[in-house]
Structure 1
Amino acid sequence: MEKKRLSILYIKLQFNLLFEEDTILPEEKVSALRGGMGEMLLRQNCVSDRICEECVFESACIVRKTMYTYMEKKPSFMQGNDSVGYLIECEDYRKNIKAGDTVTFYLTLFGNNIVYFGQYVQAFSQLGMYGIGKNKSRYIIWEIKNMFGQSILKNDIIQMEYFIPEYISDYVERRKKELYLYGCQNTLIFHTPLSLKFHGEYLQKYSAEGILTALFRRIQMLDYFCEIYLDYPECEIIPEIIMQSVKKKRIYRYSSTQDSKICLTGIEGFVTLDKIPEEYLGYILAGEILHIGKNSSFGFGRYEVR
């Protein structure tokens, strides 16, 4: 059952951006990348003056298919327009960028969003010409690599033979072998904030049950997105937390939709469990790619098992 639940197609792409001049970028870059991507997609594709509720092309809209999540069926707990078809990661927090510097970010595409690779590349390329952030910092896409370090794009040449999607279950099997080889320390290190509501309140410290529940829900959301209609596992075994370290994190982003600044909050740090039950290990490793909690399309909820 685990392998079937994790039959989620994905591809993780590394974008290396080369900046053409000295500039200042925001410390937290994912919001600027995501917002800029959405703006470029709208400029390239919107034929209804951005009045979505009156648009007769809604079912064919490229922006909706790339930025938001169209699903034939949704799990009962899903509300609103959760974006599960992609996520962006950038953990380069430098602000002062010199001409010739490169900044790396990662774009992960899931399910049918994989086929829109060209739309995402075009959007990020246009964003580079327009400029990112309030300083309109310009860049070119220097290189795009796959997870194995092979160049899909370099020197403006696309090599689609290296555009190789795989299943989450394939990633999990590789990671299991690594953990068995080096020894699993049962520690989840959160590299980006976890924003998670559990029992009606946002977590102020890590909860094993809260993490597992969020993880299983995230897997079911991606399953439904990929038209795999299965229930998520129940949390029958709750590992004990033997140690944790937590710090609160606030990230401010500008919302063009609401025309205002929004504060996104979460917790960073690590949590060590007494043991990771064997029946949960594959799902927990899948979460390294999928992320958990709210705001995952902004890079929130990325963790690593060590």
Structure 2
Amino acid sequence: MTPLPSSLAIARYHFDWEVETPMRLPEYAGSALRGVFGAALRRIACLSGEPTCTGCGIVNTCPWSMIFEAPPPAGRHAVQHFARIPNPYIIEPPAWGKRLFYPGERLTFGMVLVGRALVQLPLIILAWQRALARGVGHDNGTAHLLGVRQILPDGSEQVIYDPEVGVVMEHARAVTPTAMPAAEAEQITLHLLTPLRIQREGKPLGPGRLTPRDFLLTLARRISLLAEFHAGLHLGLDFPELTARSEAMTAHGSLGWRDWTRWSGRQQQEMTLGGVTGRWTLRGDLTPFWSLLYLGQWLHVGKNATFGLGKYELNQPKSKGAVA
């Protein structure tokens, strides 16, 4: 099997805010935050002024489309056929259930950037500042930015942006998977923190239907496409071999189903979505999947990952890797 590169251009950031006017967020705020971020980014970056990107001559170089809604490639693709490719960002909203923030309170949420999106960090910070100055949530609550921290793979952190200074500090922007712990070569436990939405034949997989094959191949496809389209890396994963290896694995755990409701501006209606959460243990030869499982802690897996769904952590020692 073709080995993965020693590192991948990924960084996780935490944005810290002070709330200015009462802010009422949905129970799970990933979709709401994505909506105001995309609107603010478009107001800043769109040069054509057209309501849609269809027919725009600069869609393939526009910062808005390349960050927020990357256009699919022309023609056929070796991994899959798709109308869209995975976007190079993941929003990690505040903890589930925290809904009302009062003036003076601190609000923190995260964002993961991948590949070429990392060079757009100053623009992304500006878009977030404009978005929360305009308002988010049911009452259009506003907030001002206190700073941006990078969360390193070992759990430590560093401030990389202070609004008083106005310049993004140089910092490491790659994640290097650790060597696979010997104790986890044949068994590892995943903590599914936000709803995991994986479909088979167009139907969501619940706790009783999710298999190692579903999870691992979905993860492998996502990371392969992110690396190719946003970092210029062709991983050359051997999908037939990965399929055979994943089908030989077993899983058990304590899983449940969690629903959430979001408003779809595109469809102009509320949508009830849900996914699998809980603890899930994979058993079998994990060696071919270790780097993918490790990187997936940043990149999430499954549908609606840009909202923050499909987030998981591996049950392993506190240190989560090195920074290149």
How high is the TM-score relative to the length of structure 1?
A: 0.88
2:87 matches 1:87: no
Say whether residues 1:214 and 2:215 are aligned partners. no
* 2:69 matched residue in structure 1: 68
> 2:34 matched to which residue of 1?
34
The equivalent of 1:165 in structure 2 is 173
One-letter code aligned to 2:296: G
Q: In 2 relative to 1, CA 223–71 (structure 1 residues): closer, same or farther, beyond 3 Å?
A: farther
Equivalent position SS for 1:236: helix
Residue 321 (structure 2) aligns with: none
3-state SS, counterpart of residue 237 of structure 2 = coil
Partner in structure 2 of residue 277 of structure 1: 286
Q: What are the superposed Cα offsets for residues 82-102 of structure 1, whole Å, 9 maximum, x if unpaired?
A: 333111112423112122211
Partner of 1:294: 303
Residue pairs, 1:33-182, within 5 angstroms: 33-46=33-46, 47-70=48-71, 74-93=77-96, 94-148=98-152, 149-158=157-166, 160-166=168-174, 168=175, 170=176, 172-173=177-178, 176=179
Q: Quick one: which amino acid aligns to residue 26 of structure 1?
A: P
Measured at CA, do residues 2 and 13 of structure 1 come closer, stay the same or move farther in structure 2, by a change above 3 Å?
A: same
How many Å apart are 1:79 and its aligned residue? Answer: 1.1
- Within 1, Cα distance between the matches of 2:259 and 2:45? 33
* % identical aligned pairs: 23
Question: Does the aligned pair in 1 maintain the 2:22–2:139 contact within 8 Å?
Answer: no
Pairwise CA distance, 1:203: 1.0
Comparing 183-192 and 121-130, the one that deviates more: 183-192
Partner of 2:270: 261
| 2:200 equivalent in structure 1 | 198
Equivalent residues of 1:13, 1:107 under 8 A apart: yes
Moved more, 12-21 or 272-281: 272-281
Q: Report the Cα offset of residue 190 of structure 1.
A: 0.3
Q: Which amino acid aligns with 1:124?
A: W
Given that 1:144 and 1:151 are in contact with CA atoms closer than 8 Å, whether structure 2 keeps it comes out as yes
Which string of whole-angstrom CA distances, capped at 9 and with x for unpartnered residues, describes residues 95-140 of structure 1?
1212221121111111111111122111110011111112101001
Cα separation, 2, equivalents of 1:3 and 1:97: 43
Matched AA of 1:102: R
SS of structure 2 residue aligned to 1:77: coil
Q: Structure 2, unaligned stretches of length 5 or more? A: 316-324
Q: Rate the CA distance shift 1:184–1:239 in 2: closer, same or farther, 3 A.
A: closer
Query: What is the CA-CA distance between 1:70 and the residue it aligns to?
Result: 4.1
Once the two structures are TM-superposed, the CA of residue 194 in structure 1 deviates from its matched residue by 0.7
Q: How many residues align?
A: 298
Is the 1:92–1:104 Cα contact (8 Å) retained in structure 2?
no
* Contact map agreement 1:67 1:83 (CA 8 A) in 2: no
In the aligned structure 1, how far is the partner of 2:22 from the partner of 2:295? 39
Amino acid of the structure 2 residue aligned with 1:79: F
Deviation at 1:60, TM superposition (A): 3.3
Deviation at 1:43, TM superposition (A): 1.8
SS at match of 2:60: helix
Per the TM alignment, residue 75 of structure 1 is displaced from its structure 2 partner at its CA by 4.4
Q: Deviation digits for residues 45-91 of structure 1, max 9, x if unmatched?
A: 33323132243332332211110124657544141123331111124
Q: Alpha carbons of 1:60 and 1:284: their partners in 2 closer, same or farther (altered >3 Å)?
A: closer
CA contact (8 A) 2:72 2:82 kept: no
- Return closer, same or farther for 1:156/1:89 CA change in 2, 3 Å cut-off: same
Structure (1/2) with the larger helix percentage: 1
Q: Which moved more, 1:91-100 or 1:107-116?
A: 91-100
Letter in 2 for 1:240: T
Alpha-carbon displacement from aligned partner over 1:116-169 (angstroms, at most 9, x marks no partner)? 112211111001111111210100111101124111122532453343211x4x
Is the 8 Å Cα contact of residues 17 and 104 (structure 1) preserved in structure 2? yes
Residue 184 to residue 125, structure 1, CA distance change in 2 (3 Å): farther
Q: Structure 1 residues 71 and 49, CA, compared in 2 at 3 Å: closer, same or farther?
A: closer
Normalising by structure 2, report the TM-score.
Answer: 0.83
Runs of 5+ consecutive residues of structure 1 not aligned to the other structure: none
CA RMSD of aligned residues (A): 2.5
Which shows bigger deviation, 105-114 or 220-229?
A: 220-229
- Residues 221-268 of structure 1 show CA distances to partners (whole Å, capped at 9, x for unaligned) of 122112222432323323211x32222222222222222222222111
Matched, 1:3 2:4: yes
